[in-house]
Amino acid sequence: MNFSGLICDLDGTLLDSIADLGESMNTVLAADGLPRHPISAYRLLVGDGVEMLTERSLPPRLRSPEMVTEMARRMREVYSGRWGVHTRPYEGIDEMLAQAHQAGVTLAVLSNKVDRFTREMVSHFFPKTSFAQVVGAKKDVPNKPNPQSALQLAQDLGLKPKECIFLGDTKVDMETAVKAGMFPVGVLWGFRDEQELNQAGAKCLLAHPSELADLLK
């Protein structure tokens, strides 16, 4: 298959960001005397945007829309000052992106993370990578797995959906790819496991970033 585009999820795909996400959410919870979660537990809580992360993190009795909105606001505030404490690109990611770019593949990021944070973090952690588009969550656009943002991104890049690999670490990413008519590739170094990715429609699984090169030949 010939692919012209590579659309990447951010958290759990390009960046190992779970510690900063978890510690930020725990800071918000602790400020109200609420129970915190082990950092490892956040691997199953993230992926659908800050509001869903907040809702899942709160005790069920406190998950009113008003409470979720307020706690999500606090989460954004705390996270804005600490997203770079522990977060780093996964080993081999820089090389993977460089190889894809050298192969003539157009690179893009599509995340459910707040758009401002998505852009800031991509700029900070990948200053040498030529991403054609970097897109995060926006108020008036539905989050993944709704395919709207992925389809719009492909259109903006001048690519057909079938020409795009969608690279991600959760069922949200695989479902997005399937709904958009893109090629779903799951990564095993991220936040979720092989079973989840396969059940969500992954057509290929990568154990290491270097394996992407085989799809680009």
* 1 has pLDDT over 90: no
Helix (H, G, I), strand (E, B) or coil at 2: coil
Which of 28, 10, 29 is closest to 18 using CA atoms?
Answer: 10
CATH code: domain 18-80 is 1.10.150
* pLDDT tens for each residue of 77-109: 999 999 999 999 999 999 999 999 999 999 999
Domain ranges of the chain: 5-16+87-216, 18-80
- Beta partners for residue 5, in sequence order: 106, 164
Both structure tokens of 160 = 């057909």
Span 5-16+87-216 CATH architecture: 3-Layer(aba) Sandwich (3.40)
**For a pLDDT cut of 70, what percent of the chain falls above it?**
100
Q: What is the model's pTM?
A: 0.95
Mean pLDDT of the chain: 97
* pLDDT tens for each residue of 3-55: 999 999 999 999 999 999 999 999 999 999 999 999 999 999 999 999 999 99
Residue 2 has what pLDDT?
85
Residue 25 identity (one-letter amino acid): M
